[in-house]
């Protein structure tokens, strides 16, 4: 994740800010079934890292088989490729059929939509994207709209229109980047009124986007680490504590995507998170198994 990247993390306060006032009240509105198991999904922004061969993937895995093995080790992927290009139907069908039950794709809404000042894009583009995303069902998780830094609260009416036209049955997260969104609750309140998720981004150079405002019973976190620096583990420890608190208060679903400059290191942090939150919250999330260990004997 290049957004918020800095040359040095020295002196950066990585502590999570406190929850905004009213967080427990918001989560308490959601009907809680005591027998319902929280859903947590973990993944990376890609499944095409060749450096995973022999570790996350079996030795000698070919690129054509990367998704097969990725989707059996991790539980979700931040589908950034759809931001740049909507794949043909044959590709989407192949992805859907390759991934097993329980795995979810989270597509980023195409830039020809999100980068337009009014979020309309070329005629029919939004409909085309929605149709493409639906081809991933039942492996479709949360789609997310990444608003550009120039899209501020002065364009709230365009966001409202977009939410009104977005299908109610499709999960949607919205990522704010313009600094003014974090000086007002207007955007978050709008998302809450539509039951949509405010994406939370945790990156070194933009601590303001770490808003911690929950607007739905689901959250999508885009977390940027620093190649297993000691602060990475301390930051994840704090996230584990906060997510556990939210789950007990009524949060139902978590998508947590780990970005690191050296992509092959990301899965190590996924397992750290899974093992720690299992121990803390009594969950039974399945960590991925390294093929590297299997080849040592």
Residue 247 inside a domain? The answer is yes
Confidence at residue 297, expressed as pLDDT on a 0 to 100 scale: 42
Q: Per-residue pLDDT averaged across 275-290, rounded? A: 96
Confidence at residue 296, expressed as pLDDT on a 0 to 100 scale: 43
Confidence at residue 280, expressed as pLDDT on a 0 to 100 scale: 95
How many CB atoms neighbour CB 32 within 10 A? 15
Confidence at residue 27, expressed as pLDDT on a 0 to 100 scale: 92
Residue 3 inside a domain? The answer is no
Alpha-carbon gap, residue 27 to 20, rounded angstroms? 12
- The total domain count for the chain is 1
64-98 residue pLDDT tens: 999 999 999 999 999 999 999 999 999 999 999 99
Residue 6 inside a domain? The answer is no
19-71 residue pLDDT tens: 999 999 999 987 666 667 889 999 999 999 999 999 999 999 999 999 999 99
Residue 109 inside a domain? The answer is yes
Q: Per-residue pLDDT averaged across 231-235, rounded? A: 98
Mean pLDDT over all residues of the chain? 95
Distances (CA, A) of 66 to 27, 43, 46, 74, 253: 37, 14, 10, 12, 26
Confidence at residue 35, expressed as pLDDT on a 0 to 100 scale: 66
Residue 9 inside a domain? The answer is no
Alpha-carbon gap, residue 263 to 245, rounded angstroms? 29
Confidence at residue 294, expressed as pLDDT on a 0 to 100 scale: 58
Q: Provide the CATH number for the domain around residue 173.
A: 3.20.20.410
Task: Give the domain extent around 139.
Answer: 38-294
Residue 208 inside a domain? The answer is yes
Share of the chain above pLDDT 70, in %: 97
Residue 13 inside a domain? The answer is no
Alpha-carbon gap, residue 205 to 4, rounded angstroms? 4
Residue 116 inside a domain? The answer is yes
Q: Per-residue pLDDT averaged across 243-253, rounded? A: 95
150-188 residue pLDDT tens: 999 999 999 999 999 999 999 999 999 999 999 999 999
Structural tokens at position 146 = 């990444």
């Amino acid at each position: 994740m290049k957004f918020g990247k800095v040359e040095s993390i020295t002196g950066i306060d990585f502590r999570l800010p406190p929850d905004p006032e009213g967080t427990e009240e918001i989560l308490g509105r959601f009907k809680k079934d005591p027998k319902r198991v929280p859903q947590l999904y973990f993944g990376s922004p890609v499944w095409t890292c060749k450096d995973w061969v022999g570790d996350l993937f079996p030795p000698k895995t070919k690129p054509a088989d990367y998704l097969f093995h990725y989707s059996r080790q991790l539980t979700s992927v931040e589908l950034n490729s759809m931001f740049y290009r909507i794949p043909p139907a044959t590709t989407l069908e192949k992805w859907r059929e390759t991934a097993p039950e329980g795995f979810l794709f989270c597509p980023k809404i195409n830039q020809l939509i999100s980068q337009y000042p009014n979020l309309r894009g070329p005629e029919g583009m939004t409909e085309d994207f929605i149709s493409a995303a639906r081809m991933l069902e039942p492996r479709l998780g949360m789609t997310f709209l990444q608003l550009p830094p120039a899209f501020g609260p002065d364009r709230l009416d365009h966001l409202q229109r977009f939410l009104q036209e977005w299908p109610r049955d499709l999960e949607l997260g919205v990522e704010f980047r313009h600094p003014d969104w974090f000086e007002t609750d207007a955007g978050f309140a709008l998302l809450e009124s539509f039951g949509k998720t405010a994406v939370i981004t945790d990156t070194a150079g933009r601590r303001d986007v770490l808003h911690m405002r929950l607007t739905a019973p689901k959250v999508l976190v885009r977390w940027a680490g620093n190649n297993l620096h000691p602060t990475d583990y301390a930051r994840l420890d704090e996230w584990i504590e906060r997510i556990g608190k939210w789950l007990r208060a009524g949060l139902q679903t978590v998508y947590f995507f780990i970005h690191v400059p050296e992509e092959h290191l990301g899965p190590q942090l996924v397992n750290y998170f899974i093992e720690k939150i299992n121990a803390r919250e009594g969950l039974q999330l399945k960590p991925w198994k390294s093929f590297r260990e299997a080849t040592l004997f």
